[in-house]
Copies of this chain bind each other. A is one copy, B any other.
């Protein structure tokens, strides 16, 4: 046995009833928002062929795979669901009607050092739009994120969505930094995404290190790092070539977000690039305004992912929204719900002689769609009342020898204490 045979593997969670009620509360919001935006739910296996996830841009997510070999197959627990969904879109591309609006709430696995807001598994709400190239898709997704935060009770000022565009950055670097080697751009993005974690100097070192695969000259690296500090879209646009599509897309996106009434909740932030290699256009992350936690959610456009899996070119945009960080933010704000076991009635037989009658009472209540606990064993009435109170049950049904003799069940309203009688069903 392990050191702690009764504990789950490190970084993973058991869900006791109170934990599961919270999870269902979160998932309920995810589903309600997805439904509100007309999205359909999908899912894929937690276990996939490893090659679905392996890419060569130096992403952490690839280094942190839970992977193994079984009967000559390399398999991996999904670290994210996007490649699986891409696989599903590719497999039925001819039969699907685009644009697709798909959501999912997969459990995902990453083997990594644990920090606040990050375990080795989490559930991640995903919303993705497939087949729509315009920024109207990004706007819908960002609006859905805010609808969810609002539903959960967060204040308008609690969370900001920070937006940038890889397309804009790529166009800005196209004629200078990337001129001779445009193919290093995804790896460059993976490196600069580490800015928050390791700081500007370390990012600069990564960018110039020839062994890292990008190998910029010092001047180019300086330019890239300084670009990341921009917080004004106008400034960023000035540095891009005239007519840059990344610039006009961002401008149109912010305009649309105004129609959603979100202008005060979204900001341009050039330091947002996302750590996955496959993003190609607009990228965004939601942060608590105090920036005390990791990103609440992150997403962006990934128009070429399906092609890299051997499928047809299909524009796509989506986000992932984990269950762990949002739960911490809600806890910090005192917004976690008080969930309670839902129970309508408790049915109690004094002893074996009355059990059959109690069963018939419980069956009748359940036929009327009530949630009914049939007390097992022969506990004392006092304990039964205490437990029934604690469980939030509204009524207690009691059958003792006297009740049985009269063919009646005693019904006690646990709120008012009022007592009535009804016939025991035959």
| Interface of A toward B, CB cutoff 8 Å | 1-2, 5-9, 12-17, 20-21, 23-24, 35-38, 40-49, 51-52, 66-71, 73, 75, 77, 84, 87-88, 90-92, 97, 99, 101-102, 107, 109, 111, 121, 129, 132-134, 136-137, 139-140, 143, 147, 255-256, 258-261, 309-311, 341-343, 346, 355-357, 359-360, 363, 366, 369-374, 376-377, 387, 391
CB distance from A108 to the nearest CB of B (A): 11
A-B contact pairs, 5 of them (CB 8 A): A7-B87, A20-B43, A37-B371, A139-B359, A140-B376
Tell whether, in the assembled complex, residue B36 and residue A371 are in contact, meaning their CB atoms are under 8 Å apart: yes
Given contacts A45-B121, A88-B14, A342-B35, whether A374 and B140 have CB atoms under 8 Å apart is yes
Residues A8 and B87 in contact, CB atoms below 8 Å apart:
yes
Report how far A69 CA is from B67 CA in the complex, Å: 9
Given contacts A1-B51, A9-B49, A70-B111, 10 further A-B pairs with CB under 8 A are A5-B310, A15-B44, A21-B41, A38-B343, A47-B77, A47-B121, A68-B68, A136-B355, A140-B376, A258-B356
Interface of A is mostly: mixed
Distance in angstroms between the alpha carbons of A73 and B391 in the assembled complex: 40
Give, as a whole number of angstroms, the nearest-CB distance from A403 to chain B: 16
Smallest CB separation, A187 vs chain B (Å) = 21
* Given known A-B contacts A45-B13, A45-B14, A366-B147, A101 and B20 have beta carbons under 8 A apart: no
Contact indicator A45/B12 (Cβ below 8 Å): yes
Copies of this protein in the complex: 2
A1-B51, A68-B68 known; A38+B376 contact, CB < 8 A: no
Residues of B near A133 (CB, < 8 A) are 377
Q: Please tell me which one of the listed residues B14, B37, B70 contacts residue A68 in the complex, with CB atoms under 8 A apart.
A: B70
Complex alpha-carbon distance, A377 and B46, angstroms: 33
B35 in contact with A17 (CB, 8 Å): no
A52 contact set on B, CB distance < 8 A? 5
In whole angstroms, what is the CA distance A49 to B9 when docked? 6
Residue pair B44, A8 in contact (C-beta under 8 Å):
yes
B6 touches A311 (CB 8 A): yes
Q: Which residues of B sit under 8 angstroms from A256, Cβ to Cβ? A: 355-356, 359
Q: Are A12 and B51 in contact (CB under 8 A)?
A: no
Complex: A120 Cα to B206 Cα, angstroms? 43
Report yes or no: A373 in contact with B87, Cβ–Cβ below 8 A: no
Known: A51-B1, A101-B373, A377-B134. A20 touches B42 (CB 8 A): yes
Q: Which residues from chain B contact A37 at a C-beta distance below 8 Å?
A: 366, 371-374
Q: Which residues of B contact A47 (CB under 8 A)?
A: 9, 12, 66, 77, 109, 121
